Structure 1
Amino acid sequence: MKSFYIADSATFENQTVITYFVVAAVNVREKTSGGQYLAFTLADKSGQFEARMWDNIAKAVETCKAGCYVKAEGIVNAYNGKFQLKVNRIRAAEESEIDPADFVPSSQYNPEEMEAELRSYVDAFAEPHLRALVYAFLDDPEIGPAFRDAPAAKKLHHAWLHGLLEHVLYLVRVLRAVAPFYPEVNLDLVTTGAILHDVGKVRELSWRSTFEYTLEGQLIGHISIAQGMLTEKILDLDAKARASAAESGTEPDLFPPKLRVLLEHMILAHHGKLEFGSPKLPMTPEAMLLSAFDDLEAKFQTLRNAFAEQKAAGKPSGETTEWIRSMDRPLFDSHRWLSEREAETQDAD
């Protein structure tokens, strides 16, 4: 059991801690005064912070590699408004010392319950080809478990175990709630697009001890990966339909080619803009709705993370957050400020 989590740094400022971390990154750097020091990025399930080891680094260089678990002793201090660890001692941790649940953040929601809810929406589809397609993914022995476990991102939104499933389920709920206000949108199609738009992330990301991009993720990316996975599944479904038709002496019920194109378009266009990585702009009602709410949900999750970090750091609600690079702006937690103001007003009465 870890005795200290990175999110608790403010409580432990200027104190010595001895606990376990996973090394997200490590580099040997040159001191201005001569010699070398180690610059780490250490992580646990609550977050990351920087760490520095200034002396006696030779053994640590050999044993403390990126992706490995370590036991470190050091002093928590603040530097340039952020907490970091001044490392006195560090060593590679033994496997018996480690509980992986301490290091990889996980969704607050039960993945089995989330998947069951998602399947209930698929069961209600009027379009059998879309129902069969989604189940071809969810029931796949490799893709299905990965879809349940994968994070939705390395750092930004839903960057935790089961984050992809949580993100997808949120989108499905919202899109099904707003779709009646947009009669141009086909409910089965937009739901399928929401479920499959990020399925390529099961191959884009790895999530054993830290969240990292795979080689496939770096060189191809989840949008192109998802398009390829969609093609594979539809070809498999068509092959099974032909085999079944041959046995019964009937015409095969193949996946409609235009329906396939509509799904591919939703995958390719879901980032909304060319400069955001989508090779096509949204051109159908379903693609437009999906890209709009996918972007909004990602922004709100970034917002939630920023507000949580601000509160954990002990900063008052009347200030903006630090600059958020992905959104090119700071943010202001109006909900927290108004709630505290309301409480103060009630106390005064």
Structure 2
Amino acid sequence: MDSVSDTPVTIATLRAGDEVNAVFACSRKERLMSRAGTPYLALELRDRTGAITARVFRDADVAAARFERGDLVQVEGRVERFREELQLDLRAIAKSEDADPASFLPVAYRDLDELDGFLEHLANEVHDAEFGKLLAAFLDDATFRAAFRRAPCTRNGHHAYLGGLLEHTVAVGTLALEACQLHPRLNSDLLLTAAILHDAGKVQEFTYGAEIGLSEPGRLLGHVELGLRLIDARSTGLDVERRLALSHCVLTHHGPDAAPQRRFGSAEALALYRLNALDATVKGALEHGLD
């Protein structure tokens, strides 16, 4: 297929008769039979401006093997009017390997560079040398950092958009910093490290295409287990006491039921649980309303 035009094509601007060579998100895919008994594909294509139905009549089964529902797809075709509605008659369709999901998925309103700066500031507030080395092992990793910046916090709940994980983490870390000033007996290095890393596993939890999906590790293990594995892999220089204390905070940040004794083992774990819930529930109420 030819490359996409430099001029962006959006669904909202399509008109009958337009020739289209563009990338859209495929949100529906069905194999149907025509009255003549031949298969065709019935699709729904989306971008941020709207949705349009599409049909593939020629070599439908061959075309169907080139993409799945939920993929970003590059299409070639013509806009037709059918029963007073616009529809795309496609000549070609295939999964797009280099389209940016950020063009099709919701993204954070807040500036991600600014949030990255806040994250660096929070990490610099950790003065314990061992915890500091652990945070550096994460934040100095360009691959992890890019994935952390892109990830949402949830698929349908609070911060359910690209950049949501970074926004939520900065919020929880800021609350943790304030809590330690109000309660000096808290171990601020432990709590702040846990606040920064408590959702680290979410960098491996999601997939990105027409929608935010779950990866196989995310579906089978969940972000808490994935996060603990990431911490274990990077904490070889951390002593047993620090590693256990941090792991307990991460393990119980959704509540004490995940702990073997079904109770919090430290005030820092309790604080992280409450601060995480505070940001998540307030953000959820602001985005979706009160239950």
**Bigger relative contact order (CA 8 A; separation at least 6):** 2
Letter in 2 for 1:137: F
Q: Is the 8 A contact 2:44 2:54 kept in 1?
A: no
User: Residue 265 in 1 paired to residue 248 in 2?
Assistant: yes
Structure 1 stretch displaced more, 132-141 or 20-29: 20-29
Q: What is the correspondence of 1:306-325 to structure 2 with a 5 Å cutoff?
A: 306=288
Q: Is the 8 A contact 2:107 2:161 kept in 1?
A: yes
| Alignment match, 2:277 | 295
Q: Distance in 1 between matches of 2:41 and 2:54?
A: 5
- 1:200 counterpart SS class: helix
Instruction: Give the direction of change, closer, same or farther, for the CA distance of 1:219–1:256 in structure 2 (3 Å limit).
Output: same
The CA RMSD over aligned residues, in Å, is 4.0
How far residue 198 of structure 1 moved from its aligned partner, in angstroms, is 0.7
- What are the equivalent positions in structure 2 for 1:192-207 lying under 5 Å apart? 192-207=193-208
Partner of 1:69: 73
Distance 2:269 2:114 in 1: 27
| Count of aligned positions | 269
* Percent of aligned positions that are identical: 25
Give runs of aligned pairs for residues 1-349 of structure 1, distance below 5 A: 1-4=8-11, 21-28=24-31, 43-45=46-48, 59=60, 61=64, 65-66=68-69, 67-69=71-73, 87=87, 89=89, 92=93, 100-207=101-208, 210-235=211-236, 238=237, 255-272=238-255, 274=257, 281-306=263-288, 331=290
Do the aligned partners of 1:203 and 1:216 also contact (CA within 8 Å) in 2? yes
Secondary structure, aligned partner of 1:158: coil
TM-score normalised according to structure 1 size: 0.62
Runs of 5+ in structure 1 lacking a partner? 6-14, 76-84, 239-254, 308-330, 333-349
Give me the whole-angstrom Cα distance separating, in 2, the residues matched to 1:98 and 1:225: 27
Is the CA contact 1:2–1:102 (under 8 Å) kept in the aligned structure 2?
no
The whole-number CA distance in structure 2 between the counterparts of 1:305 and 1:282 is 30
Q: Deviations over 1:113-152 (max 9, x none)?
A: 2222221222232311111111111012332222222222
TM-score normalised by length of structure 2 = 0.72
Q: Is the 8 A contact 1:53 1:88 kept in 2?
A: yes
Q: Which amino acid aligns with 1:117?
A: F
In the alignment, residue 265 of structure 1 is paired with which amino acid?
Answer: H
Q: Is the 8 A contact 2:206 2:212 kept in 1?
A: yes
In structure 2, distance between residues paired with 1:74 and 1:101: 28
Q: Supply the AA of the counterpart residue of 2:230.
A: M
Question: Counterpart of 2:73 in structure 1: which amino acid?
Answer: Y
Unaligned runs of 5+ in 2: 1-7
Determine which structure has the larger helix proportion and give its number: 1
1:79 corresponding residue in structure 2: none
Contact 1:74 1:87 in 2 (8 A): yes
Aligned partners of 2:228 and 2:250 also within 8 Å: yes
